[in-house]
Structure 1
Amino acid sequence: MNRPIGIGGAILLSLVLSACGGDESSSASDKQQGQQKPPTQAQVLDVKARDIGLSKTYPGMIRSDQEVTVMGRVEGILEARHYREGSLVEKGDKLFTIEPAPYEATVEQRQADVQSAQAELYRAQRDAERYARLYKQNSVSQQQRDQSQADLRTAQASVAQAKAALDSAQINLSYTEVNAPVSGMISLSEVNVGNLVRPPQQLATITPLNPIEVRFSLPADDAFALRRQRQRGAKEADAAVLTAPSTGSATREPLKLSGELDFLGSRVDENTSTVQAEATFRNQDGLFLPGQFVRVTLPNVKRYGVFAVPAVAVTEGLKGPQVYIVNADGKAEARFVSLGEVAGDWQIITQGLDSGDRVVVSGIGSISPGDKIDPQPFSGSAEDPQDKAGENPSQKADAKGGEGAEGSQDKAQTDGGQNGAN
């Protein structure tokens, strides 16, 4: 009975050892397969200097440089107001009437003075002609002739003086009718009808609403870039877009106007390191008003000769923002970089990359340092440029050496971004 049991135990022991041996060979096989992991396919961008467009946004305030204060220029009772307060008026429209009667009487008096002076001039001219004939006949002395000539000149001066007084009176009479010097929206009346107007007294304010101007300040670097573009004849550098954020809602985009940059300051403010600028916009509907705070976007601010990679290629490492490059052995290698500005889906790199480096731009989440890379040509598509500023942790404002994503708004043009990608 002991023998069969011994045979059964031997068989069982053999099975156990066989199983253990099978596990060891399976583990060794898996380890061998891990060492022979196939290269990871990923798109790779060859780094080289390129020109890239940025969209820069700045806060500003609407102005109306042609705003006019309507003043009373003659004294008198305000007889009438001819406009509706807060309405749009056209240049030349009648606004106020100041009692004209005293000034009409003055004009009539000055007209009479002119007629009297002209009559005296007629008499002096006839006397001068008669004395000139008598002097030739030796009937009067030279002194008498000279006196007649002097009386003639005095009469001529009196006529000129009377006409000047008449012109002044007519001007004062015209001031009794106050007309709009410019077109625009008129304010409330500062003087009620029936009150005495004493010059110079403010009667109302007219604010032209088309066009409108927006003054804002931009960093010195942006001003330098715009000047370079202007020197190169890039007219698109003057394009500007006005946006009023407060006019947007959940179902409607904020109101916008298209215009152009018409002034770029000639000096840098020492306190803020900014340059003053002004853009002009057509405000056909009169919806935007002076004093309103808005945002001005310059969509075509270029940076020349910079290194840029798709923003998806930048990740946050232990020491800061990093990218993966393919080294000479064909393996992924982490490279720490300093970030510049964001241009839509493109990230400008200020330090850490050299011309000719090969940066991995796809499948970043599945790649680790040391992985073998099967490089694929970059498709040249970092998607359409969109405002993704701030979504990537590597684009934070305190990222190593970088300016962060602040300042990149709306759409950005990536001129040369695709053409330079191989």
Structure 2
Amino acid sequence: MRPNFLNRTLGLGGVMLVSLALSACGDDQQSSSQQGGGQQKPPVQAEVMDVKAHDVSLTKAYPAQVRSNREVTVMGRVDGVLEARHYREGSMVEKGDKLFTIEPAPYEATVEQNKADLQSAQAEAYRAQRDAERYARLYKQNSVSQQQRDQAQADLRTAQASVAQAKAALDSAQIDLGYTEVNAPVSGMISLSEVNVGNLVQAPEELATITPLDPIEVRFSLPADDAFALRRQRQQGDADVADVAVLTAPDTKSATHDAMQLKGRLDFLGSRVDESTSTVQAEAVFENADQVFLPGQFVRVSLPNVMRYDVYAVPAVAVTEGLKGPQVYVVNGEGKAEARFVSLGEVAGDWQIITEGLNPGDRVIVSGIGTVSAGDAIDAQAFTGKVPEPQNNAGENPSQEPDAQGGEGTQGAARDTKEATGQDGAN
């Protein structure tokens, strides 16, 4: 009985093993069939652009500090007690406005004394003139000697010199008297008084400072490459565009208001490169009619039209981050996607400048990057994306359409790809 039971058990087990083996074979065939179907993946539709050189305009921003090159220190130029201050501290004053009065009485007395000295010298000169004329007539009549005539002429010249000295002394005294009234040499905002009324002023002594606020000047340093580009634009007669500058105060930005800005022009571009920083000194001038910006304030200066000539640029969304760094997909001669590692330059709006890795005529895939893999067959479509053609206004106008998705380099490209496909776009 036991052998028969064992035989039946072994028979049932053999049948089950054979069934499992057949099932496994079926699964392997199904898996192989699925894999074979993956190799027959249909071509991926994607927009493709041909690589060619463009002139691209960049917006470059630099840290800067506001200055007022016409700031003036008002000085007391004569000694005396400060009798009066004629302005409100911190107010705007106009050129020629009376600011201070230093006691004028001693200087008025000096003027009167010098006037009297001048009158005395003039009287002496009159007497000497009459004597010289008389001795000249007598000499012709042989009534006086030549020595007497010459002495009379010398006395006349001495008297005339005394008149000149008296006039000079009077002029000096009148100038000092004029300095007792201190007027504004320029228009601008005046500071606190450095000397209180009633104190003794001893020349030269600082009394106040006047700072013109319209226009204002901003000095900054820009890289040598940017300075070279600006000079090239100027030489090509494009200075009106190249010299446009925008001043921004970042600290003034709020939830409901953009940062305050002023528009001006590049007024100075240095003639040498700083060897330690490889930068060039520059200065821009801005109209500050509302007098909001003040000297010493830290700001940012933007030059919205710095050109890069004959560069390769692709939409930033076409750039992804591969295992070895930034890459783009190009369509090779077989019509398949091929990863091409590239070196990145600057960003111009929605465009990424490529410095190495692309050649003229390369066909770069610029859409659906998240669905493309190396080796995929590509159904190439004409490039009709919303990213604008790189032109002179690329730096000013990143997108022609309000809803255009523009990236800033590889990070922006990865973000846009992820939003569009739910994938990170990296290999």
Q: How do residues 20-419 of structure 1 correspond to structure 2 at under 5 angstroms? A: 34-235=38-239, 236-379=241-384, 381-382=386-387, 384-385=397-398, 388-389=407-408, 392=411
CA separation of 1:170 and 1:191: change in aligned 2, threshold 3 A: same
* Deviation larger for 311-320 or 217-226: 217-226
What secondary structure is seen at the aligned counterpart in 2 of 1:43? strand
What secondary structure is seen at the aligned counterpart in 1 of 2:193? coil
CA separation of 1:279 and 1:347: change in aligned 2, threshold 3 A: same
Deviations 1:227-283 (A, max 9, x none): 111111112111110000111100000000001111111111122111111111110
Contact 1:315–1:393 (8 Å) recurs in 2: no
Deviations 1:37-59 (A, max 9, x none): 43222211111111101000010
What secondary structure is seen at the aligned counterpart in 2 of 1:229? helix
Deviations 1:110-145 (A, max 9, x none): 111111111111111111111111111111111111
Contact 1:215–1:278 (8 Å) recurs in 2: yes
* One-letter identity of the residue aligned with 1:79: E
1:293 and 1:23 mapped to 2: Cα distance? 71
* One-letter identity of the residue aligned with 1:389: E
* One-letter identity of the residue aligned with 1:291: G
1:391 and 1:37 mapped to 2: Cα distance? 28
Contact 2:316–2:408 (8 Å) recurs in 1: no
Contact 1:110–1:165 (8 Å) recurs in 2: yes
Unaligned 5+ segments in structure 1 are 1-18, 397-422
* One-letter identity of the residue aligned with 1:252: H
Contact 1:74–1:198 (8 Å) recurs in 2: yes
1:28 and 1:92 mapped to 2: Cα distance? 96
1:273 and 1:23 mapped to 2: Cα distance? 68
* One-letter identity of the residue aligned with 1:56: K
State the Cα distance separating 1:27 from its structure 2 match: 7.9
1:89 and 1:48 mapped to 2: Cα distance? 59
* One-letter identity of the residue aligned with 1:357: D
State the Cα distance separating 1:20 from its structure 2 match: 12
Contact 2:215–2:286 (8 Å) recurs in 1: yes
* One-letter identity of the residue aligned with 2:167: K
* Deviation larger for 83-92 or 150-159: 150-159
* One-letter identity of the residue aligned with 2:344: L
Deviations 1:334-377 (A, max 9, x none): 00000011111100101100111111111111111111112222
What secondary structure is seen at the aligned counterpart in 2 of 1:252? coil
Question: How many residue pairs align between the two structures?
Answer: 378
* One-letter identity of the residue aligned with 1:165: A
Normalising by structure 2, we get a TM-score of 0.84
* Deviation larger for 176-185 or 112-121: 112-121
1:172 and 1:24 mapped to 2: Cα distance? 112
CA separation of 1:86 and 1:395: change in aligned 2, threshold 3 A: farther
State the Cα distance separating 1:23 from its structure 2 match: 9.7
CA separation of 1:390 and 1:85: change in aligned 2, threshold 3 A: farther
State the Cα distance separating 1:31 from its structure 2 match: 6.4
State the Cα distance separating 1:394 from its structure 2 match: 7.1
What secondary structure is seen at the aligned counterpart in 1 of 2:326? strand
2:414 and 2:376 mapped to 1: Cα distance? 25
CA separation of 1:51 and 1:212: change in aligned 2, threshold 3 A: same
2:407 and 2:201 mapped to 1: Cα distance? 60
2:407 and 2:169 mapped to 1: Cα distance? 72
2:48 and 2:410 mapped to 1: Cα distance? 22
1:122 and 1:99 mapped to 2: Cα distance? 37
CA separation of 1:282 and 1:135: change in aligned 2, threshold 3 A: same
2:361 and 2:213 mapped to 1: Cα distance? 54
What secondary structure is seen at the aligned counterpart in 2 of 1:147? helix
Q: Percent identity?
A: 76
What secondary structure is seen at the aligned counterpart in 2 of 1:173? helix
Normalising by structure 1, we get a TM-score of 0.85
* One-letter identity of the residue aligned with 1:286: Q
* One-letter identity of the residue aligned with 2:368: G
* Deviation larger for 340-349 or 42-51: 42-51
1:31 and 1:72 mapped to 2: Cα distance? 95
Contact 1:339–1:395 (8 Å) recurs in 2: no
Deviations 1:82-126 (A, max 9, x none): 000000111100000000000001011111111111111111111
What secondary structure is seen at the aligned counterpart in 1 of 2:292? coil
* One-letter identity of the residue aligned with 1:49: A
2:323 and 2:225 mapped to 1: Cα distance? 31
What secondary structure is seen at the aligned counterpart in 2 of 1:392? helix
1:254 and 1:176 mapped to 2: Cα distance? 46
* One-letter identity of the residue aligned with 2:98: K
CA separation of 1:70 and 1:110: change in aligned 2, threshold 3 A: same
Deviations 1:273-327 (A, max 9, x none): 1111111111001110011000000101111111111100000111100000010
* One-letter identity of the residue aligned with 1:133: R
